[in-house]
Each structure stands twice: as structure tokens, then as C-alpha cells.
Amino acid sequence: MNLWVKLDNNYTKAMINYKATKRKGIKLDCKHFGECGSCGVHDKEYEKQVSNKVETLSTLLNKFHNKAIDSFSSPSSNYRSRAEFRIWHNGDECSYAMGNMAKKGVVLISECPKVSKPIEERMWRLIEIINASKVLSHRLFSVEFLATTTDECLIVMLYHKPLDEEWNSEVRELEATLNANIIGRSRKQKVTISKEFVTEKLTIDNNEYLYRYYEGGFTQPNPAVNIKMIEWAMNHARSTNSANGTDLLELYCGLGNFTIPLSKLFGKVLATEISKNSINAAKENCELNDVNNIEFIRLSSEEMTIALNKQREFERLKGVDLDSYDFSCVLVDPPRAGLDDGTIKLITNIENIIYISCNPHTLARDLETITLTHEVTSAAMFDQFPHTEHMESGVFLRKLSKGKLTI
């Protein structure tokens, strides 16, 4: 079978670069490395990739923080616990496919060492079974995997056809064969065979935490680096007045990834998130970890700002005494767009700020305003996505003394 689909001049150049790189002796862990567009950075050793990201972040933050930046690397393989693959049909045979480096075609893959072991050990057996079944293969167009470090795996199979009882029957057997939870999706249809979640167990700061991850919900893709991110945030939270019983405000809390471990360091925690499903998962995760000092509220950061400024009352805050909180620290983990002006104004009233960012450019933009009242005392780069340009970053800020304010 021809593995290269829609080959063009740009793609030929990518192949030439790949072969030249291989001759230089740089270790490539995947036969598709330099061809598959999923790993966009293929011409540098991993250590060099990390140093380049640190240099990029240092340049962006130099105006606010000209000291060394902490760097947290990823495992070299089997680091990704979330993965999505297109299904490529060539006659009666199905293959996993990813976009090629030229972004004008696909590569049919026969290995993917970046995915975690629980995914790697199931995905190849799954494609064999799919190819042996017309019921499972017909009009299947994508497969998504979500796994844990404890060998639980959730598989979502997406179709361009209705899913009937014959499909259900085969997938029930498939769940037993793969020891995985399987969900089927098609237009206006979702079929859950057993469970629609997996339960992760992470050791953070020498304590074990349980997280229930639901299909379709946001989860950090790299468990090892995620642990380092949480521990970095906890180390800085300890330097606040949390030991004196003060409280934490968290915006964009998701399913409680940071919230639950950080709650041990504070008297109370008020955490907000706009997604109803994430809030429900966060509350379940509180119960799993026997945590009872967190109030999860379904509000956007803008709505939380309005509520704390007493500009409007929200039914979702009924029974919550906002005046009872004494916030010594705020943690924000916004989407790529960064923070809005109202949220920036809110958090700059709080002594200590932990800002986790998936976009260092909007982080630098927001720091233009935040550093009028706060100073960056620490910064970090977290390599959640090896072999790509993407980076996670974090900064810790303390309020300036009145003599240093630059407003």
C-alpha cells in the first residue's frame, strides 16, 4: 500500500529534510517522525527544543522578569494520554491517519510512540478488529483515546451512520477484549456501552489524588508534566499567607486539576468555571478526594468579577457568602485568548497571583497591565507538547509595595 497520499513539492522537501536529519545521527523514536505533521518540530534534539522554548519565553517575559526561567521537560516517549486519529479507508482496509508535514495530505501511520502505553497497547489491536468487522469499519471516520496512568482507557468511535443494535453487540465484546470503555457517536447520537469516564490517580506532592475524566471534557494531555505544573503552583502558594488560614480564588478551574491539591494549603477555596460538565466533574472529584473546603460555582470570570464587585446578584451564588472569603492568592488558567480587562482588574486587588498560560504571547500582553501593581518573582516553562512549538508557561506575582507602584 502507498503510505503517502497527495505528495507535492513541499512534502518532498520535508522528506529531504527528514532524511538529512536522520543522517546527522539525531535520534528519531518514530518511523514517521519528520513526515507526520503531528510532531511539527523534527530537526532538533529534544534538549535543544526545550532550550529554544525557554529562550522564546525568556524573550517574551524579559521586560517583566529578567531572571532564569524554570524548565520542566517531558518524558521522551509515551507521554500523551489524549490522542485523536482520522480513519483512512483504502478499499476494505482502514488505517490511522494524520496530516502530513506539508498540511496537504495524510500519512498512514503504523506506530505512534508519543501516546501513552495504555493507548499504544490498545490502538493496534483495535484497528485489527475494526478491519475484521464490516459493522465496525463501515463509515467510521475518527477514533479518540483518553487514558490514565493506571491503565484505564476510554475510546470514542465517530461515524457517518446511525449506530444500531448490531453495532452495540459487537462493541460490547470489543470492550471486554480491549479492557476499555467505548462510546459511539454519530449525528445526534451518543451510545455509551458502560462508562463515559476514566479515573486517573496522580501522586502530587507525596499525596495521591483521584480525578474522574469524562468524554469530551478538558484534561491535561501530559500527566507527568501536569504533576510538575501542579507542584510548581503549590510551592508558590505555600509562600503566601495560606498557612494563616487565608483563602484561594481560582478562575477557569476546569474539573479541579489545580484546585483540589491546592485546597490543602488554604482555609477555603472559591473556584469558578463556565462549563457545566466541568463543574459537575469537579464536584465529583471533591467527593473522590474527601475534600470539603472548596465551593465550585458555574460562573465565567467576567461574571465572578461582577459578583465580587457587588454589581449584580447571581442565583448560582445563592447561599455563598462572598464576604466571608479572605483571598491571599488567586490562580488563573485562561484559554489562549488570555484575560479580559475586568478579570485583570479583579485579580490585581489580590496580594499573590499564579498565572498558568497556554499562550505566552497573551500572557506577555496581560503582564503589561498586571505588572503595574505586581512584580513577577518566578516564571516557568512546562513542555506539555514535545516536538511542537506549543508551550505551557506559568508566572508567580506578588503585589508591589506602595513605594514601588508604577500606576
Burial of 340 (0-12, 13-18, 19+ CB in 10 A): middle
**Which is catalytic among the residues 250, 273, 303, 392?**
392
315 C-beta neighbours (distance < 10 Å), count: 5
Q: What sign does the CA torsion over 83, 49, 360, 36 have?
A: negative
Which residue shows C-alpha cell 496512568?
149
β-strand pairing of 106-109 with 140-147: unpaired
Residue among 13, 77, 81, 86 at smallest CA distance from 39: 77
Instruction: Establish whether 231 is a catalytic residue.
Output: no
Q: Is 54 left (phi over 0), alpha (psi -120 to 50) or beta?
A: alpha
Residue 47, φ and ψ in degrees, nearest 5: -60, -35
Question: Which H or E run contains 367?
Answer: helix 360-370
Q: What is the dihedral of CA 182, 80, 382, 395, to 10 degrees?
A: -10
**Which is catalytic among the residues 39, 144, 358, 389?**
358
CB 297 within 8 A of CB 320: yes
What SS3 class is residue 206?
coil
Instruction: Establish whether 36 is a catalytic residue.
Output: no
CB 248 within 8 A of CB 263: yes
Q: Is 394 left (phi over 0), alpha (psi -120 to 50) or beta?
A: beta
- HSE, CB side, 13 Å, CA atoms: give it for residue 257: 25
> Angle, to 10 degrees, between the axis of helix 360-370 and the axis of helix 46-61?
30
Q: End-to-end alpha-carbon separation of the chain, Å?
A: 66
**Could you give the CA distance from residue 294 to residue 271 in angstroms, rounded to a whole number?**
7
Please list the active-site residues.
Answer: 358, 392
